[in-house]
Amino acid sequence: MQAGKPILYSYFRSSCSWRVRIALALKNIDYETIPTNLIKDGGQQFSKEFQALNPMKQVPVLKIDGITIGQSNLSVLKQLRQENNLPWAQKAISSGFQALEQILQGTAGKYCVGDEVTMADLCLVPQVANAERFEVDLTPYPAISRINKTLLALEAFQVSHPCRQPDTPPELRA
């Protein structure tokens, strides 16, 4: 295994990349970002160079301690764009949020599970951002909204936010 600064191949708006950025920030792990634009030039993840790194052609990819780890959900968004199916996205997100809101009644403290940040919180914030992006009404989800607001106040969630990434277009920067 090789030591050195971890490298994150990321797209600013990828919720999967955002989860990794949050985790790295929470653990105070300094890393280098290599922006990988999923739209420009037909998608930089389809280049031969990127495919050699991740044959799945997806972000994020994290190179850490000599290991390369990759994962993404862009294929769902591509399908939504092709079908222009905003109602489907709203229904899918709302269905998940209805179940989560009930679960949180028994698990939530300051965060999703008690008063310590957990993996559930790393997943919640990007999903709430997706909900906002797809115009889901968050009014029926007061626990989700409260926890999201609390998490967004934490430095790890602020520095990892898509509007603060090196590849964020100027018009979307904070």
> How many whole angstroms separate alpha carbon 37 and alpha carbon 43?
6
What are the C-alpha distances in Å from 16 to residues 4, 73, 92, 106, 152?
23, 7, 17, 26, 17
What DSSP string runs through 57-103? --S-EEEETTEEEE---HHHHHHHHHHT-HHHHHHHHHHHHHHHHHH
Specify the residue for token string 């009014």.
139
**The predicted structure's pLDDT at residue 67:** 87
Tokens standing for 7? 């490298």
**Banded pLDDT at 85 (limits 50, 70, 90):** confident
Sign of the C-alpha dihedral, residues 161, 7, 35, 54? negative
Evaluate if residue 1 carries a pLDDT over 60. no
> How many whole angstroms separate alpha carbon 138 and alpha carbon 42?
33
User: How many residues would you count in the chain?
Assistant: 174
> How many whole angstroms separate alpha carbon 120 and alpha carbon 109?
13
> How many whole angstroms separate alpha carbon 54 and alpha carbon 139?
39
**The predicted structure's pLDDT at residue 100:** 96
**The predicted structure's pLDDT at residue 56:** 87
How do residues 99-152 score in pLDDT, each as one tens digit?
999 999 999 999 999 999 999 999 999 999 999 999 999 999 999 999 999 999
Provide the whole-model pTM. 0.80
How do residues 93-103 score in pLDDT, each as one tens digit?
999 999 999 99
**The predicted structure's pLDDT at residue 105:** 96
**The predicted structure's pLDDT at residue 2:** 47
Over range 5-25, report the average pLDDT: 95
How do residues 31-63 score in pLDDT, each as one tens digit?
999 999 999 999 999 999 999 888 888 999 999
